[in-house]
Each structure stands twice: as structure tokens, then as C-alpha cells.
Amino acid sequence: MPHNEELFLLDTHVWIWLAEGSKNISMKNQAVFRQAILRDSVYVAAISVWEISMLVAKQRIILDMPLPEWVNKSFEALRLKLIPLSPQISIDSCFLPGTFHGDPADRMIVSTARVENLCLATKDQNIIAFGRGHHVKVMAAS
């Protein structure tokens, strides 16, 4: 379990869940995120904006407002900070230790957490397993 002063990077699905008030996040973790939001300790990787955009474009998710407005409102409501894609993150994503699957968005999100020393909140079992190998700090978000 992360320390109560932890800085969190939200995996894309966790960002959506928090913004939409989803019940996919346990009450315990909702409380952890509420405290982190109050501390301005919640981040999103730039690639997650692209990933949500792709989900909307492919109609895999339907938002109740235009995408730019949803992004802006979620950033405001959750007090999110955006981490841009840096050369260091790009390079790290291509040289992750151990074994990790080839999904570029997941690789960029994991590398963002690693480079910025953030705890990655996710339900992705591959990322959670990668965290058990001490390659990235992870919190199972569901």
C-alpha cells in the first residue's frame, strides 16, 4: 500500500473512472485518491490524453460532453497535472527491464511513472506484475 504522501500517476482507465465517479474503484482507494487530490498529488501522462482520444474516436467510450471540454473539466475537478512526453521517458519506454508487452501507450505510462518517481495507479495485471518485480511503483486501483 502506498504511503499517504505518495504522488500518483493515473493509468488512463483510472483517470476515466475517477472523472466519471465509477464504482470500479474500492471505497478505500477512493479515499486515498481524494486525499491525493487535496494534496495536488495526482498526475496524468500526456499519452493518456491521446489514449482517451483514440477510445472516443473509435467509439469505445462515450463521454457526456465534447472531448476537449471533458479533458479540461476532469483536469480541473481532479486537480490533475500533466506530464509531457520527454526524451528520457521515450528512451526508457524502449528499454524497460525484464519482460513487458509491446503496447506503446502502456510502455509510455510505465516509463512516465518510473522517470518521475510516481506510484502508478492501475488495474492492469501486467503492469501490477511488472511492479512486483520492483521495476515501477504500483497501486492496484480497483
Closest CA to 119 of 99, 107, 134, 98: 134
What the chain holds in terms of domains, given with CATH numbers, is 8-140 (3.40.50.1010)
**What would the pLDDT profile of 16-32 be if each residue is shown by its tens digit?**
999 999 889 989 999 99
Residue 107 has pLDDT above 70, yes or no: yes
User: Which grid cell sits at 93?
Assistant: 519506454
pTM of the model: 0.94
Residue 121 has what DSSP assignment? E
3-state DSSP call for residue 81?
strand
Mean pLDDT over residues 68-88, rounded? Answer: 97
